[in-house]
Amino acid sequence: MMKCRQGFAILCAAVLVASAVQAQVIDRTLLGQSAQKLTIAIGGFAPFTMDGQDLGKLGAGVLDADLKFTTIFDVMEGAILPFDPTTLQLDQEKVAFPGLAALKVQFLAIAQVSSRGKEAVVEGRLFDVNGGREVFRKRYVGDPKYYRLIVHRFADDILFNLTGEKGVAQTRIAYVSTVSRTAKEIYVMDYDGANPSLLTGNQSINVSPRWSPDGRVLAYTSYRNNNPDLMLLNFDSGRRDVLSAQRGLNITPAWSPDGQWVVLGMSGGTGSGTNLYLLPKTGGTPKPLTAGPAISVSPSFSPNGRQIVFNSDRGGTPQIYVMDADGANLRRLSFQGTYNSSPRWSPRGDKIAFMCRLAGNQICLMNPDGSDLRQLTSSGANEDPGWSPDGRHIVFSSNRGGSRAIYVMHVDGSEQRRLTSGGEAYLPDWSPAP
């Protein structure tokens, strides 16, 4: 376990010592072929008060939201269960769930909340209703302060055991918030908007947070030394190091998928342009990828690390371009509208999300060859798209509710939901899965 500095403790998810009582694992490819949702019911979570809050009610709510958000589950309300889970003989070879099959419930998640000293304990179990067998059982223990994270972990385990897919319930979102007329600080919150906390706090302007692929470092641009420098915040050590402080801009960083390189926009070179440079994460001489008087910024790597999509006005208006990671083989991808920006390559590789200006600023999707343009938003001005690590969701900022706030939606544009409240929030970036 790494040393957890105060303020970063929340990022040290391993505080949860999960003593796993691993049961057998059923077919993980269950969802590989079918798009049909799995029906799951949540039971247990009996009232249990600790530090003044009912962990039972809270846990049921968190698990319900987590499972629904995956888009893989139809979640039945616990209230519909025709029996009290505590009365079931759960430890038998074959468990009977009277009346559940008739409700077409396929899986049953049961959690029992208790405490051990000052720690909260969740005994999580997942049952296959038709087979009458236990899919897995795991005990989650941790500080009640991180109780939501404990339940998130149970949710991710349910998803992983049924589909083999890594869930996003334990992920976080970094974003920028305006704290005063002159200060913009970087914050981080849980993926569902809970537990927002300040990361920078230097009373200066801090923008463009980008998680490293292992989630241990955050790259961002800070004006704290009166020049937009590129900083690296190391969560393990708490250190903030300057990676690039060339005179002029050092902005819009992107990590290579292997976490060894950062590509950023710099204006310090010869000529008037802002161009993309490749820089080792340990520092060194930046290698130019683009050249000329145009502005080329906002890079994003393809998941195989061999392509970079970015934004450039080399054709007169800001458009989306893609090039090989060595700078060769440049192609323009966007041809509709006079303003397209902020491209982000999906973690699955099959889509690029970007801001398109079609009747206002909107979030659009296209294939990496520029085909199949789709508009996902329509209400308000929507900007700064970013992907969840599983490629199923998109985070973005929108002013549809008055002030600018962080929103999430599914990749098909459905279920757009606001995460932040109060103040101005924008430029979100979704962390990798733990």
Applying the rule CB under 8 A, the residues between 302 and 321 that interact with another protein are 302-307, 313-317, 319
The piece of 7-15, 18-26, 346-354, 357-365 that touches another protein (CB under 8 A) is: 346-354
86 vs 272, beta carbon nearer another protein: 272
Least CB distance from residue 314 to another protein, whole Å? 6
* CB proximity list for 46: less than 8 A, separation 6 or greater: 56, 86, 112, 113
The piece of 52-60, 85-93, 106-114, 344-352 that touches another protein (CB under 8 A) is: 344-352
Spatial distance between the Cα atoms of 52 and 65, rounded to a whole number of angstroms: 22
Of 164, 327, 337, 413, which lies in the binding site for another protein, with binding defined by CB under 8 A? 327
* CB proximity list for 371: less than 8 A, separation 6 or greater: none
Distances (CA, A) of 46 to 40, 43, 114, 200, 396: 18, 9, 10, 39, 36
- The pair of structure tokens assigned to 232 is 């690296």
The amino acid present at 139, given as its one-letter code, is: R
Q: Which helix (H) or strand (E) holds 2?
A: none
Of 7, 32, 238, 349, which lies in the binding site for another protein, with binding defined by CB under 8 A? 349
First CA to last CA across the chain, in angstroms? 14
The amino acid present at 64, given as its one-letter code, is: D
Of 84, 326, 412, 415, which lies in the binding site for another protein, with binding defined by CB under 8 A? 326
Residue holding tokens 């976080």?
Answer: 172
Cβ(221)–Cβ(231) below 8 Å: yes
User: For the stretch 345-362, what's the b/e string if a residue is b when 16 or more beta carbons lie within 10 angstroms of its beta carbon?
Assistant: bbbeeebbbbbbbeeebb
| Interaction of residue 259 with another protein, rule CB under 8 A | no
Q: Where are the beta strands (DSSP E) in 129-204?
A: 133-142, 172-178, 184-190, 197-198
| Interaction of residue 224 with another protein, rule CB under 8 A | no
Of 369, 379, 403, 423, which lies in the binding site for another protein, with binding defined by CB under 8 A? 369
Cα-based angle 48, 54, 55 (whole degrees, multiple of 5): 70
| Interaction of residue 371 with another protein, rule CB under 8 A | yes
CA torsion angle for 272, 309, 277, 427 (degrees, to 10)?
Answer: 80
306 vs 417, beta carbon nearer another protein: 306
Applying the rule CB under 8 A, the residues between 204 and 223 that interact with another protein are none
368 vs 386, beta carbon nearer another protein: 368
Of 223, 370, 410, 413, which lies in the binding site for another protein, with binding defined by CB under 8 A? 370
164 vs 370, beta carbon nearer another protein: 370
| Interaction of residue 330 with another protein, rule CB under 8 A | yes
Least CB distance from residue 55 to another protein, whole Å? 41
Least CB distance from residue 302 to another protein, whole Å? 5
| Interaction of residue 30 with another protein, rule CB under 8 A | no
The piece of 68-76, 97-105, 213-221, 282-290 that touches another protein (CB under 8 A) is: 282-290
322 vs 394, beta carbon nearer another protein: 322
Q: Which residues bind another protein (CB under 8 A)?
A: 287-288, 290-291, 293-294, 302-307, 313-317, 319, 324, 326-330, 332, 335, 348-350, 367-371
